[in-house]
A and B are shown apart, each in its own frame.
Chain A
Amino acid sequence: GENVEQHPSTLSVQEGDSAVIKCTYSDSASNYFPWYKQELGKRPQLIIDIRSNVGEKKDQRIAVTLNKTAKHFSLHITETQPEDSAVYFCAASYIAGTASKLTFGTGTRLQVTL
């Protein structure tokens, strides 16, 4: 089955700096890669996703890049703000029409300091 590794496990950046979180996956059939943000005790919230037919996607301060050959994808957050502090999870899935099970990475705890 799919295995997703995520690094780093913790990341501390100063407000205004950029943050990068990296994930690798094992199953070359995976074609859907969402990123979730989870605040303490709350539900994971989808912040951005990318499908295997594109290499990069951007939404304001958040971007995701995908390298299918190397089987890795990354989350980039620019101009970080204190409210970006949370745990971020990457995930991978093979989608064929409808939702399929997600395999999550181990999570990255991002701390944005003033």
Chain B
Amino acid sequence: GAVVSQHPSWVICKSGTSVKIECRSLDFQATTMFWYRQFPKQSLMLMATSNEGSKATYEQGVEKDKFLINHASLTLSTLTVTSAHPEDSSFYICSASGQSSDTQYFGPGTRLTVL
């Protein structure tokens, strides 16, 4: 149980384009989803927290207009990187947690490369 998937697993795009990443909880309802970014050989940095049906809460320094998060259902959250630039290249990982649970289950991550 507690499986989280992400799509795509990797994506290469040109500078200036937008990229959408999906995060799905496959066998449970995720009331809360988290989006992290991880640069090579570094730790996971929380970007934002999203609760189903409400606006995401962004961490300090994360531009909400650049990283659009939607959590429209209890099994799906999306992260859209708008007008991507090479410095946005990173490993993006989501995690999900169900109601009355304090455990976060991580997705497999999406490697974004912006040329």
Give A contacts to B, CB under 8 Å: 32, 34, 36, 41-46, 49, 89, 93, 95, 97-107
Contact = CB atoms under 8 A, between A and B. Distances in A.
A45 B103 contact: no
Interface string B63-91: 00000000000000000000000000001
Contacts of B32: 98-99
A41 B109 CA distance: 8
Contact of B102 (A44, A100, A103): A100
Interface string B43-79: 1111001000000000000000000000000000000
Contact of B43 (A42, A98, A99, A106): A106
B97 interface: yes
A36 B104 CA distance: 11
Nearest to A32: B102
Contacts, number: 58
A49 B99 CA distance: 18
Main secondary structure of the interface of A (DSSP, over half): loop
Contacts of A44: 44, 93, 106
Given A101-B49, A106-B43, A42 B103 contact: no
A99 B106 contact: no
Nearest to B60: A1
B108 A104 contact: no
Interface centre among A44, A103, A107, by most chain B C-beta atoms within 10 angstroms, is: A44
Contact of A89 (B44, B97, B102, B105): B44
Nearest to B33: A99
